[in-house]
Amino acid sequence: MSIPRLGFLLMALPLAAPAAPPQVHEFTLANGLKVLVQEDHRAPVAVSQVWYKVGSSYEYGGITGVSHMLEHMMFKGTKKHPPGEFSRIIAANGGSENAFTGQDYTAYFQTLERSRLPVSLELEADRMRNLRLLQDEFVKEQQVVIEERRLRTEDQPHARMEEHFQAVAFTDSPYRNPVIGWPEDVAGLTLDDLSAWYQRWYAPNNATLVVVGDVAPGEVFELARKHFGPLKPAKLPALKPQGEVPQLGLRRMVVKVPAKLPHLEMGYKVPSLKTAAAEWEAYALEVAAGILDGGNSARLTSRLVRGRQIAAGVGAGYDLYARLSPLFSLEGTPAQGKTVAELEAALLEEVRRLREEPVAEDELARVKAQVLASNVYQRDSVFYQAMQLGMAETVGLGWRKVEEYVDKINAVTAEQVREVARKYLIDDGLTIAHLEPQPIPEGAKIQEGPEGMGGGHVR
Amino acid sequence: MSVKRLAVVLLFVLLPLQGVFALPEIQTWTTANGARVYFARTQGLPLLDVRVVFDAGSARDGGQFGLAALTSAVLDTGAGDWNADAIAQRLDGVGAVLGTGISRDSASLSLRSLTQPNLLQPALETARVILAKPRFAAEDFEREKNRVLLALSQREESPADLAGIAFFKAVYGDHPYAHPKDGHVATVEKLTRDDLEAFYRKFYVARNAVVALVGDIERAQAEKIADDLVSALPPGEAAAPLPPVPMDQPAQTLRRAFPSEQTHVYSGQPGMRINDPDYFPLYVGNHILGGSGLVSRISEEVREKRGLSYSAHSHFYPFRVEGPFLMGLQTRNEKADEALNVLLQTLRDFIAKGPSDKELDAAKKNIVGGFVLRLDSNQKLVEQIASMAFYGLPLDYLATYIPKIEAVTKDDVRRVWQARIHPDRLQTVLVGANSAAESAQ
């Protein structure tokens, strides 16, 4: 499965707070595998995640979607285990498992009762280097992925809009490509493409193992050494720079798809924590997203959904942990009787206010209070704690950034928010898309099959 | 090779999981005005999760489909002296998260807060006033109603939503579970502010409520919090029992044309209730049939063997009275009938022959071994306990769960599935391109 870019609330997680911050234990095997362990003894469970530094932003023209397709094939057998057995073994051990591919990572996870952790590490180590890519399995799984694309993108008006929007907003950054891949690329992938991708990126020196739960760090390190230690490292290719050429002015586009409601999407080119010249800029952008959309009291909901009642729904998002420079995005659906143009004007007005007026102290305090609280709430989930560490490590920031998060957000001032808004939230870096709904043909009367006995009809 | 496998099996036997996990102790009592309370103390994180649940879901709409949902949506937009902005600022200012929502059976208010008193108290006070003195102000009512109407219109973009609506209508006929919980444009348009207020007065009462509390607080504090939350509600009366579900609908296949690349397919019938005597054989059987993700029979046949669908599954949704048994998949339009046939054939085979020893064993291992994963966070515990409280499940429900799973036999599964699930009486819905044309054959 692919996961969407994470919005502000989801990102507002990391550590420190009223309770003592959990300690992260770090260890690196001789073959380069990094191991991170965090103890959480509330319940006798452990989550294990293996993160690879590869995702759609590592792909190039013609093979988009190869990272995601390979993720699917990682369940299709090794020299030791036939196709499907990985999942059957995890299931028989009471575990739940899956995987996800993003722009900057591919990750595999299992959640298990703590004594079953060795099962998961043994299987993950096996498929890190010993995958058997079989043609007949590939042919079927390619159809499954094409069905997944139909389900998640083709038949979803907003997802289709988003895909086209990213492709216009970015010129040469690989963020212009969808994680699941363009339709013709997905259909054109071959077993050789997958094999080359696997050989290139799946190795201990390109991966991080994260374990969070009711475990002892020393024991986890020993298990990791036992199962992953014998694996050979790979010679990793040097990463290409893959930047984005400076945008030369406002971009506008229209997306016409069968839909009932219009929709608006806007995005400004901004740096991430990884790409910012100065770190504080990224944290200030994170706070700006919170000022606009951090909770029900934030500006967009209080002013545009309530207040002026221009939007039926509206949101802002910023991906602090992106490996490459992302978008600071705004999106919304106009309220009944309002137009996309009116909503666009209202959002531009909110951005103008961020540029021109310092945010009020009580607004800033509310954003910080929510960051502090959600930092505790997110520790209720072992999965999410592991995810934070894995993501920060995999995009090249290092897991310590997760620990610093609350302090860094607390240090952001109203003046810094205004400064980043002036620098980055400007028309020349902006892309605007309008979804223009096309009629859904009204052949839509229900018909009954041969067994039909009357009664039920859809509308 | 076979020796090694045996060793692994023995290891499972030596590590009985139910002995390892200390279940949280659940305490229960009733407030002075008649609301039942379930409480479990957890430690390790300074947070509290609260659920107040009313028998006020969409099954209580009467003819006014969407009334329960709109009442719930407007509830937290104004209360006592506060408008929506004041409520939002009070909650965001202490980092608390409050939400309202409904299902077919219930309406609930949820609150998550840190336990530090200067943060917790304002959050609880806000929740208390929302429950006791909602304003249902005209402005909030109109705005939320318009938002719901837009969302209902947007539902028409989604073949999956349309198929789900048609499926419930086909299975439930005129039963209160039949209509979508958010209602229809035509029924929501007619709702008035007074309708909401009347619905609130009738159903948001103490004897129709349960409270669930999970977090790092003492019993005495839990009692005070529960009392405070519901003390201003009148005792009122518990909602009347729901009518029985019609169980003898003849089979139908309904097809609706929609300009999508995939056809969404649902097929099923009334399934089971929460307190169902056949719960365990039905649940374990479904785990094997289509409830356990990629390793289930349906997923194996539809996805793994044939590449026909990204997601193919079967589920029981146990409600107060019989919730649906539902099988579903989505596939490219030209394959819809082939995929449906595979789905139905898989069900028929399962009912005729039942599970194998190996399948039953694997399912039990997954359910038993994974039991702890269903209770490993505050969030999951409060959902579980709120559900136990709302449906009146016994306090030893969790403690007896694993032995009851272990006790299910192959014969139980086959016998119960043959008695309860009828492949010749399924309600089947297909929504996608060319669906209508194909039905002419």
User: A91–B365: do the CB atoms touch at under 8 Å?
Assistant: yes
The residues pairing with B263 across neighbouring beta strands, listed in sequence order, are B331
User: B252–A452: do the CB atoms touch at under 8 Å?
Assistant: yes
> Which residues of chain A are under the pLDDT cut of 70?
1-21, 442-459
- Superfamily designation of domain A8-228: Metalloenzyme, LuxS/M16 peptidase-like (3.30.830.10)
Which class for B240: exposed (0-12), middle (13-18), buried (19 or more C-beta within 10 A)? exposed
A7 phi/psi in degrees, rounded to 5: -85, -175
Mutate to test the interface with B, among A451, A453, A457 (most CBs of B within 10 A): A451
Nearest CA in chain B to A47: B373
Predicted confidence at residue B24, as pLDDT, reads 86
A116 neighbourhood in chain B, CB within 8 Å:
369
A75 neighbourhood in chain B, CB within 8 Å:
294
User: A91–B156: do the CB atoms touch at under 8 Å?
Assistant: no
- In the DSSP assignment, the letter for residue A226 is H
Whole-angstrom Cα distance, residue B339 to residue B90? 52
Please list, in sequence order, all residues whose beta carbon lies within 8 angstroms of the beta carbon of residue A439, skipping any fewer than 6 positions away: A258
Whole-angstrom Cα distance, residue A1 to residue A71? 8
User: B88–A379: do the CB atoms touch at under 8 Å?
Assistant: no
Burial code of A85-109, b = ≥16 C-beta within 10 A, e = fewer?
Answer: bbbbbbbbbbbbbbbbbbbbbbbbb
Distances (CA, A) of B436 to A441, B327, B433: 13, 21, 8
Tell me the pairing of strands B427-432 and B262-270.
Answer: antiparallel
Predicted confidence at residue A5, as pLDDT, reads 32
Nearest CB partner across the interface for A444, out of B15, B170, B256: B256
- Residue B307: how many CB atoms within 10 A of its CB? 20
Predicted confidence at residue B22, as pLDDT, reads 75
User: A380–B362: do the CB atoms touch at under 8 Å?
Assistant: no
Distances (CA, A) of A133 to A49, A59, A70, A141: 22, 20, 9, 11
Residue B22 to chain A, least CA–CA distance (Å) = 9
Q: Answer yes or no: are the C-beta atoms of B301 and B250 closer than 8 Å.
A: no
Nearest CA in chain B to A293: B92
A141 neighbourhood in chain B, CB within 8 Å:
307
Nearest CB partner across the interface for A312, out of B150, B311, B367: B150
A333 neighbourhood in chain B, CB within 8 Å:
150, 154
Distances (CA, A) of B5 to A83, A87, A190, B10, B415: 18, 17, 35, 9, 32
Sign of CA dihedral B16, B17, B18, B22: positive
Nearest CB partner across the interface for A147, out of B112, B250, B332: B332
Predicted confidence at residue B435, as pLDDT, reads 58
User: A44–B372: do the CB atoms touch at under 8 Å?
Assistant: yes
Mutate to test the interface with B, among A9, A88, A120, A447 (most CBs of B within 10 A): A447
Enter the tokens of residue A26.
């770090």
- Residue B6: how many CB atoms within 10 A of its CB? 10
Predicted confidence at residue B440, as pLDDT, reads 32
Which class for B151: exposed (0-12), middle (13-18), buried (19 or more C-beta within 10 A)? middle
User: Which helix H or strand E contains A331, and what residues bound it?
Assistant: strand A327-334
User: A154–B262: do the CB atoms touch at under 8 Å?
Assistant: yes
Q: In A90-248, where do the E strands start and end?
A: 96-101, 106-113, 207-213
In 3-state terms chain A splits into helix, strand, coil percentages (rounded to 5) of: 45, 20, 35
Nearest CB partner across the interface for B17, out of A113, A139, A362: A113
User: A458–B159: do the CB atoms touch at under 8 Å?
Assistant: no
- Residue A414: how many CB atoms within 10 A of its CB? 17
Query: Domain residue spans in chain B?
Result: 26-230, 252-438
A361 phi/psi in degrees, rounded to 5: -60, -35
Distances (CA, A) of A129 to A78, A126, A336: 9, 6, 55
Nearest CB partner across the interface for B92, out of A148, A369, A444: A369
pLDDT top residue among A454 and B154: B154
Average model confidence (pLDDT) across chain B: 93
Which amino acid makes up residue B291? G
Q: Answer yes or no: are the C-beta atoms of A329 and A265 closer than 8 Å.
A: yes
User: B436–A456: do the CB atoms touch at under 8 Å?
Assistant: no
Predicted confidence at residue A451, as pLDDT, reads 40
- In the DSSP assignment, the letter for residue B291 is I
How confident is the model over B33-50, as a mean pLDDT? 96
Q: What does chain B come to in residues?
A: 441
Which amino acid makes up residue A189? L
Q: Residues B222, A372, A365, CA angle at the centre, nearest 5°?
A: 110
Nearest CA in chain B to A369: B95
Residue A429 to chain B, least CA–CA distance (Å) = 31
User: A374–B95: do the CB atoms touch at under 8 Å?
Assistant: yes
Residue A317 to chain B, least CA–CA distance (Å) = 18
Predicted confidence at residue B228, as pLDDT, reads 96
Whole-angstrom Cα distance, residue B221 to residue A220? 39
Whole-angstrom Cα distance, residue A104 to residue A101? 8
Radius of gyration of chain B (CA): 24
Residue A234 to chain B, least CA–CA distance (Å) = 31
Which amino acid makes up residue B109? L
Q: Answer yes or no: are the C-beta atoms of A130 and A202 closer than 8 Å.
A: no
Mutate to test the interface with B, among A291, A296, A448 (most CBs of B within 10 A): A296
CB pairs under 8 A between A and B: 274
Q: Which strands make up the sheet holding B209-215, listed edge to edge?
A: B26-30, B36-41, B209-215, B47-54, B107-114, B97-102
Distances (CA, A) of A427 to A132, A249, A299, B236, B238: 50, 7, 21, 58, 58
Distances (CA, A) of A329 to A274, A308, A430, B384: 18, 21, 9, 36
Tell me the pairing of strands A446-448 and B252-257.
Answer: antiparallel
In chain A, list all ranges with CATH 3.30.830.10: 8-228, 251-438
Mutate to test the interface with B, among A73, A85, A380 (most CBs of B within 10 A): A380
Select the CATH number that applies to the domain covering B26-230 from these four: 3.20.20.60, 3.30.300.30, 3.30.830.10, 3.30.70.100: 3.30.830.10
Residue B16 has pLDDT above 70, yes or no: no
Count, in order, helices (H) and strands (E) of chain A: 16, 12
Q: Residues B396, B399, B400, CA angle at the centre, nearest 5°?
A: 85
User: B262–A143: do the CB atoms touch at under 8 Å?
Assistant: no
Closest CA to A108 of A175, A51, A176: A51
B216 phi/psi in degrees, rounded to 5: -90, 70
User: B146–A335: do the CB atoms touch at under 8 Å?
Assistant: yes
User: B365–A94: do the CB atoms touch at under 8 Å?
Assistant: yes
Radius of gyration of chain A (CA): 23
Distances (CA, A) of A451 to B10, B85, B130, B247, B425: 51, 54, 50, 17, 10
Nearest CB partner across the interface for B262, out of A44, A151, A336: A151
Which amino acid makes up residue B317? Y
Predicted confidence at residue B10, as pLDDT, reads 30
Nearest CA in chain B to A306: B143
Closest CA to A131 of A180, A191, A190: A191
* pTM (predicted TM-score): 0.92
Closest CA to B166 of B252, B69, B62, B103: B252
B256 neighbourhood in chain A, CB within 8 Å:
444-447, 458
List residues of A with catalytic annotation.
71
Mutate to test the interface with A, among B87, B92, B333 (most CBs of A within 10 A): B92
Third-level CATH fold of B252-438? Cytochrome Bc1 Complex; Chain A, domain 1 (3.30.830)
> What's the half-sphere exposure (Cβ side, CA atoms, 13 Å) at A453?
12
Whole-angstrom Cα distance, residue B344 to residue B311? 16
B258 neighbourhood in chain A, CB within 8 Å:
440, 444
B113 neighbourhood in chain A, CB within 8 Å:
373
The residues pairing with A267 across neighbouring beta strands, listed in sequence order, are A329, A431
Select the CATH number that applies to the domain covering A251-438 from these four: 3.80.10.10, 3.30.830.10, 3.60.10.10, 3.40.190.10: 3.30.830.10
Nearest CB partner across the interface for A147, out of B330, B365, B436: B330
Predicted confidence at residue B439, as pLDDT, reads 43
User: Which helix H or strand E contains A186, and what residues bound it?
Assistant: helix A183-188
Q: What is the pLDDT of residues A152-199, one digit of tens each?
A: 999 999 999 999 999 999 999 999 999 999 999 999 999 999 999 999
Nearest CB partner across the interface for B368, out of A94, A296, A365: A94
Predicted confidence at residue A19, as pLDDT, reads 56
User: B253–A451: do the CB atoms touch at under 8 Å?
Assistant: yes
> What's the half-sphere exposure (Cβ side, CA atoms, 13 Å) at A334?
20
Whole-angstrom Cα distance, residue B332 to residue B262? 4
Enter the tokens of residue A449.
């099959």
Burial code of B271-303, b = ≥16 C-beta within 10 A, e = fewer?
Answer: bbbbebebbbbbbbbbbbbbbbbbbbbbbbbbb
Residue A428 to chain B, least CA–CA distance (Å) = 33
Q: What is the pLDDT of residues B194-204, one digit of tens each?
A: 999 999 999 99
Closest CA to A203 of A55, A29, A394, A33: A33
> Is residue B294 very low, low, confident or very high in pLDDT (cuts 50, 70, 90)?
confident
Predicted confidence at residue A452, as pLDDT, reads 34
> Is residue B21 very low, low, confident or very high in pLDDT (cuts 50, 70, 90)?
low
pLDDT top residue among B8 and A214: A214
Enter the tokens of residue B262.
């995939």
Q: What is the pLDDT of residues B367-390, one digit of tens each?
A: 999 999 999 999 999 999 999 999
- Residue B27: how many CB atoms within 10 A of its CB? 14
User: B262–A301: do the CB atoms touch at under 8 Å?
Assistant: no
Q: What is the pLDDT of residues B96-146, one digit of tens each?
A: 999 999 999 999 999 999 999 999 999 999 999 999 999 999 999 999 999
* Full DSSP string of A423-435: HHSSGGGEEEEEE
Whole-angstrom Cα distance, residue A157 to residue A186? 20
Nearest CB partner across the interface for A297, out of B85, B310, B379: B85
Common-topology check for domains B26-230 and B252-438: yes
User: A452–B258: do the CB atoms touch at under 8 Å?
Assistant: no
B92 neighbourhood in chain A, CB within 8 Å:
294-298, 366, 369-370
Helix (H, G, I), strand (E, B) or coil at A119: helix
Predicted confidence at residue A427, as pLDDT, reads 98
User: Which helix H or strand E contains A404, and what residues bound it?
Assistant: helix A400-410
**Greatest Cα pair distance in chain A:** 70
User: Which helix H or strand E contains A160, and what residues bound it?
Assistant: helix A157-169
